[in-house]
Amino acid sequence: MSKLECDFCGTGDSNDNPIISGDNASICKACVNAAHEIMVGSKEGNLVDKEDNKIEEQSPSVKLKTPAQLKEILDDYVIGQNRAKKVLSVAVYNHYKRIFRNNEIDDDTEINKSNVLLIGPTGSGKTLLAQTISKYLDVPLAIADATSLTEAGYVGDDVENVVTRLIQAADGDVKKAETGIIFIDEVDKVARMSENRSITRDVSGEGVQQALLKIVEGATINVPPKGGRKHPGQDAIQIDTTNILFICGGAFDGLEEIIQKKQGGNVLGFNQEKISKNDDEIISNVESHDLVKYGLIPELIGRLHMIATLNEITEDDMVHILTEPKNALVKQYVKLFQLDNVKLKFEKAALKEISKLAIERKTGARGLRSILEDIMLDIMYDLPTFKDKTITITKDVVTKEKEPKIA
């Protein structure tokens, strides 16, 4: 480290704001104070301290937020999934607390990071949670699909390339990347085949898990600067993954059966229907050994300390998703129409019908967008001719039985 620089806010050393350096990181007085205020503040229970604007000013590169504040941000964008939001908020909070503490205290107590495993059906908000939290934390985030990963040496994407992507997300700032977030989606798809399931999985599944384990555990690795395969003699960037927060996500189809069997839950007879109706509840009882049974290696599960389950999106949720988040689809269309001086209205029954169609697609809330785009296409096409009018989308428009009302 040639020039002293705060790893949190990037300011240089000065008399007013001196920098303390540890082995691997440095922190300035302002950031120590900010960290202190947050720790002490939360102890006293004033979680949503309005004073925190001051803190943000002091450490622009890592906006410290309390778990309650983090959850509030998630609430703005993600409907429902309360438990997952809480788990994620606490994990992220601990993650940054841990990084601050490591610089603040000089004994060698090690606070382990708490990586997160999100289990939930497709389109229930797993990726959205990770994206939202990283956007508002202003930390780099890399998202990778476990199915596209291979162990080093196989055709495909090396696990280590994910780390390269994180460095790219941090605009090449390795230090920033070292405290970033990596989201590994579809981890369930690299489960090794277990005798319980018939999912065909190539043998490399376990190898990918081993490779993931290495970076999740924390290691100093050399990654190619531009991704791709490693070549002998090629320049490599060295990066320590110890402080990278890992969030893994997966749908884990069939997991409920494993849990049910364990619970002695009835697999035959008339109870079947009653039980299967409540998959969400069954899944919420998931324990580590269920995941081992599913085919994740115990070492990897051991590193995913916090497990949160997400609920399947219901029809009611869909309506909320369409209208409530800050970037809700309906809000976006209304704005888009406004630009042409056209007022757009959706009848409640129309929103319900759209939700119903989305449920039929079985892709969670993901289906909403294309359904809506399909409905809106013709209207959008003629939009400039509807200046100063009001367009109302009724249920019959959604079912394509009628044209929209234009008044």
Binding site for ligand ADP (CB under 6 A): 78-81, 120, 122-128, 249, 313, 321, 325, 364-366
81 or 114: CB nearest ligand ADP: 81
> What's the CA gap between 145 and 183, in Å, rounded?
8
Asked whether the beta carbons of 64 and 38 are under 8 A apart, the reply is yes
Q: How far is the CB of 288 from Mg ion (least distance, A)?
A: 22
| CB of 355 vs ligand ADP, minimal distance in Å | 12
310 contacts 247 by C-beta, under 8 angstroms:
no
Question: Which residues 167-186 are close enough to bind Mg ion by CB under 5 A?
Answer: 185
CA geometry: angle 92, 278, 301, nearest 5 deg:
40
CB of 335 to ligand ADP, least distance (A): 16
Residue closest to ligand ADP when measured from CB atoms: 125
The tokens for 263 are: 């619970």
Does 61 interact with Mg ion (rule: CB under 5 A)? no
Contacts to Mg ion from residues 175-234, by CB under 5 A: 185
- The Cα–Cα gap between 8 and 363 comes to 39
**Contact partner at residue 354 from Mg ion, ligand ADP, none, CB < 5 to 8 Å by partner kind:** none
Contacts of 319 (CB under 8 A, 6+ apart): 348, 351, 352, 355
CB of 94 to Mg ion, least distance (A): 23
Task: Pick the closer one to ligand ADP by CB: 53 or 327.
Answer: 327
Closer by beta carbon to ligand ADP, 85 or else 97: 85
**Strand 220-223 to strand 237-240: parallel, antiparallel, or no bridges (unpaired)?**
antiparallel
Out of ligand ADP, Mg ion, none, which partner does residue 81 contact, by CB within 5 to 8 A per kind? ligand ADP
Q: What is the closest distance, in whole angstroms, from the C-beta atom of residue 121 to Mg ion in the complex?
A: 10
For Mg ion, the closer CB: 135 or 226: 135
Q: Do residues 170 and 270 touch, judged by C-beta distance below 8 A? A: no
Least distance in angstroms from the C-beta of 126 to ligand ADP: 3
Cβ contacts of 2 within 8 Å, gap of 6 or more: none
Does position 127 interact with Mg ion (CB under 5 A)? The reply is yes
Residues forming a β-bridge with 184: 144, 248
Token pair belonging to 276? 């299967």
For helices 29-43 and 82-104, what crossing angle results, to 10°? Answer: 130
Helix, strand, or coil here: 321? helix
Query: Exposure string (b/e) for 274-298, b if CB count within 10 Å is 16 or more?
Result: ebeeebbebbbebeeebbbbbbbbe
Residue 20 or residue 328: which is nearer to ligand ADP going by CB?
A: 328
Nearer to Mg ion, 127 or 148 (CB): 127
If contact means CB under 5 to 8 A according to the sort of partner, which of Mg ion, ligand ADP, none does residue 224 touch? Answer: none
Closest to ligand ADP by CB, 35 or 318? 318
Contact of 249 with 185, CB cutoff 8 Å: yes
Site for Mg ion in 327-356 (CB under 5 A): none
The CB-of-124 to ligand ADP minimum distance in angstroms stands at 4
Shortest Å distance, C-beta 135 to ligand ADP: 13
Phi-psi region of 177 (alpha: psi -120 to 50; beta: other; left: phi over 0): alpha
Bridge partners of 247, per DSSP, are: 116, 183
CB-nearest residue to Mg ion: 127
Nearer to ligand ADP, 121 or 205 (CB): 121
Q: State the residues that interact with Mg ion by CB under 5 A.
A: 126-127, 185
